[in-house]
């Protein structure tokens, strides 16, 4: 019969010792290290377990009590478990949450509820997969400082714009710009004005991606002309905050005016974008973005700050310590942002190829048939790196919340919540709650490999590691 092995969390349970204490004893050499399995996780044989039990009993006699910390948020966790997380009839597009499309973003009610229950005013909340900045916006509104990290350069722009306070007066050039483009759009639509001669796009258009086969395949000539003028005008705005709002408004309409089927399908379709349409869409998107940004700004208290970092979370990013993490991480086969955001990125002079290399979970990496195709082990290793980083930056005793669905990898179902919890517990987190959330029938998350996802999990972990860059009690 095969020998039974125990995982760290089982040993800590059987021996009645906190897993942090157990890990510390191992580090200090007070009990011998057990073997490790192919995932590099400790596996304890029955005699390893006996060693732990013996040492625990010895310590108990010498200096009881030895268990360290009581959970301080237990009432809040109980409350979180009783909430109806479906938020079926809630308005999810308030304030600036919808000024730019972003597939697979979570509804703002999720970070809002978690932030209210698991942090205090003045705390710092991080989203290491910030996407369209949902967590950042909610954190700032609730009087928390916000940190957002994302490897997608488009996310950096969206987050920076959406989490920046602006004054009504400073936005005057943007309202004027919106009006001018609306008027130009009307004039072009009525056929009273031609923007450029038909030969114009034979050459490189200043400040736009080169007129190569890509741009010709995906955009009508009249759209290329109008987007070029819009981009040129945006880049001439001197104030960075103002310029970035205008560029974001341009980016927000790129897919609608292209031949790309939608934000979640990178296939070509016939479009009927007429002269003047692109100007008019830009004008209304810009005016709306500015209005919503001003509205949000009036809700953000003066003393909170937002920090947006463009970077790959697997590269040990340097950032301040935080009190709460709330995110919806990328997971295998869920999406390919580098692909679906390609047109927007190229119009913004961003590099989709560089992001492609860093993107976690992309459908492209997991559906590849080559020997370097990503697998469940790839994702496990990435989760381990991410959680180790979080354990060093998140203050001890505080929480990390992950909202995630399941994956299918090469036809095999993978329960991402279980994988995350197993790795997290091995690193030194404790599971506080794993809440199941049904997705609205009409608003299910999209997963190209397995279609619509019907439900997802909200996994709440507590950082119980003792050795940490961030000191406890803050």
Q: Is 425 in the site for ligand SAM (CB under 6 A)?
A: no
The smaller minimum CB distance to ligand SAM, of residues 22 and 360, is found at: 360
CA–CA gap between residue 162 and residue 246 (Å, rounded): 12
Please provide the DSSP assignment of 356-388 as one string. HHH-TT-HHHHH--STT---HHHHHHHHHHHHH
The smaller minimum CB distance to ligand SAM, of residues 81 and 378, is found at: 378
3-state secondary structure at position 253: helix
b/e code 150-186 from CB counts within 10 Å (16+ = b):
bbbbbbbbbbbbbbbbbeeeebeebeebbeebbebbe
Could you tell me the smallest distance in angstroms from the CB atom of residue 282 to ligand SAM?
A: 22
* Distances in whole angstroms, Cα of residue 297 to Cα of each of 96, 223, 301, 402: 10, 33, 8, 27
Q: Is 427 in the site for ligand SAM (CB under 6 A)?
A: no
- Cβ atoms of residues 153 and 345 within 8 Å: yes
Burial of 441 (0-12, 13-18, 19+ CB in 10 A): exposed
Q: Is 360 in the site for ligand SAM (CB under 6 A)?
A: yes
The smaller minimum CB distance to ligand SAM, of residues 12 and 155, is found at: 155
Q: Is 106 in the site for ligand SAM (CB under 6 A)?
A: yes
- Cβ atoms of residues 326 and 129 within 8 Å: no
The smaller minimum CB distance to ligand SAM, of residues 159 and 215, is found at: 159
Could you tell me the smallest distance in angstroms from the CB atom of residue 382 to ligand SAM?
A: 8
Q: Is 352 in the site for ligand SAM (CB under 6 A)?
A: no
Mutual orientation of helices 240-254 and 172-189 as an angle, nearest 10°? 30
Site for ligand SAM in 312-341 (CB under 6 A): 312-314, 328, 330, 337
The smaller minimum CB distance to ligand SAM, of residues 149 and 248, is found at: 149
Which region, judged by CB under 6 A, interacts with ligand SAM, from 146-154, 234-242, 372-380, 411-419? 146-154
- Cβ atoms of residues 405 and 445 within 8 Å: yes
Q: Which two tokens stand for residue 88?
A: 């079926």
Q: Is 163 in the site for ligand SAM (CB under 6 A)?
A: no
Strand partners, 188: none
Q: Which two tokens stand for residue 126?
A: 């991080």
Chain length of the chain: 474
Q: Is 138 in the site for ligand SAM (CB under 6 A)?
A: no
Which region, judged by CB under 6 A, interacts with ligand SAM, from 168-176, 284-292, 308-316, 425-433? 308-316
Between the two ends of the chain, the Cα-to-Cα distance in Å is 50
Please identify the residue of the shown chain whose CB is closest to the bound ligand SAM. 131
Q: Is 95 in the site for ligand SAM (CB under 6 A)?
A: no
Out of 23, 104, 308, 458, name the contact with ligand SAM by CB under 6 A.
Answer: 104
Q: Is 188 in the site for ligand SAM (CB under 6 A)?
A: no
HSE value, Cβ hemisphere, 13 Å, CA-based, for 278: 25
The smaller minimum CB distance to ligand SAM, of residues 288 and 358, is found at: 358
The smaller minimum CB distance to ligand SAM, of residues 143 and 311, is found at: 311
Question: Residues binding ligand SAM: what is the number (CB under 6 A)?
Answer: 22
Taking the CA atoms of the chain, what radius of gyration do you get in angstroms?
A: 25
Which region, judged by CB under 6 A, interacts with ligand SAM, from 24-32, 126-134, 206-214, 433-441? 126-134
Out of 100, 105, 160, 292, name the contact with ligand SAM by CB under 6 A.
Answer: 105
3-state secondary structure at position 208: coil
Q: Is 151 in the site for ligand SAM (CB under 6 A)?
A: yes
Q: Is 366 in the site for ligand SAM (CB under 6 A)?
A: no
Quote the DSSP letter at residue 120: -
Q: Is 390 in the site for ligand SAM (CB under 6 A)?
A: no
The smaller minimum CB distance to ligand SAM, of residues 228 and 447, is found at: 447
Interface residues with ligand SAM (CB under 6 A) are 102, 104-106, 129, 131-132, 134, 149-152, 155, 312-314, 328, 330, 337, 358-360
């Amino acid at each position: 019969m095969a020998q039974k092995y125990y995982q760290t969390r089982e040993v800590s349970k059987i021996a009645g010792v906190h897993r942090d204490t157990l890990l510390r004893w191992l580090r200090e050499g007070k009990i011998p290290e057990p073997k490790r399995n192919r995932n590099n996780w400790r596996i304890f044989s029955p005699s390893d377990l006996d060693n732990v039990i013996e040492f625990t009993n010895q310590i108990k006699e010498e200096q009881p009590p030895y268990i360290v910390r009581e959970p301080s948020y237990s009432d809040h966790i109980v409350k979180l478990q009783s909430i109806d997380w479906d938020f079926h009839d809630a308005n999810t597009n308030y304030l600036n949450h919808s000024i730019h499309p972003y597939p697979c973003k979570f509804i703002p009610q999720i970070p809002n509820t978690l932030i209210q229950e698991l942090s205090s005013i003045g705390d710092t909340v991080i989203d290491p997969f910030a996407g369209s900045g949902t967590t950042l916006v909610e954190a700032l509104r609730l009087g928390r400082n916000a940190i957002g990290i994302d490897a997608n350069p488009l996310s950096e722009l969206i987050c920076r714009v959406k989490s920046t306070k602006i004054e009504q007066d400073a936005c005057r050039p943007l309202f004027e710009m919106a009006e001018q483009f609306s008027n130009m759009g009307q004039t072009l639509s009525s056929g009273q004005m031609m923007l450029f001669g038909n030969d114009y796009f034979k050459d490189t258009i200043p400040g736009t991606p080169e007129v190569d086969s890509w741009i010709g395949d995906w955009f009508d000539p009249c759209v290329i002309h109008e987007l070029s003028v819009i981009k040129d005008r945006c880049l001439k705005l001197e104030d960075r905050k103002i310029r970035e709002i205008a560029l974001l408004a341009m980016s927000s309409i790129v897919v609608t005016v292209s031949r790309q089927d939608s934000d979640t399908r990178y296939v070509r379709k016939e479009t009927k974008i007429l002269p003047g349409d692109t100007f008019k869409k830009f004008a209304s998107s810009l005016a709306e973005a500015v209005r919503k940004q001003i509205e949000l700004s009036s809700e953000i208290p003066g003393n909170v700050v937002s920090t947006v970092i463009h970077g790959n979370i697997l590269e040990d990013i340097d950032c301040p310590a935080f009190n709460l993490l709330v995110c919806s991480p990328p997971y295998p086969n869920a999406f390919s942002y580098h692909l679906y955001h390609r047109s927007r990125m190229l119009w913004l002079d961003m590099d989709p190829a560089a992001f492609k290399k860093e993107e976690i979970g992309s459908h492209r990496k997991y559906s590849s048939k080559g020997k370097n195709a990503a697998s469940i082990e790839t994702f496990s290793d990435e989760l381990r790196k991410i959680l180790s980083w979080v354990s060093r930056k998140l203050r001890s005793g505080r929480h990390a919340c992950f909202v995630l669905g399941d994956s299918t990898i090469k036809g095999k179902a993978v329960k991402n919540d279980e994988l995350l919890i197993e790795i997290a517990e091995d690193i030194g987190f404790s599971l506080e709650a794993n809440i199941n959330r049904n997705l609205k029938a009409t608003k299910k998350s999209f997963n190209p490999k397995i279609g619509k996802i019907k439900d997802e999990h909200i996994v709440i972990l507590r950082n119980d590691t003792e050795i940490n860059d961030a000191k406890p009690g803050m």
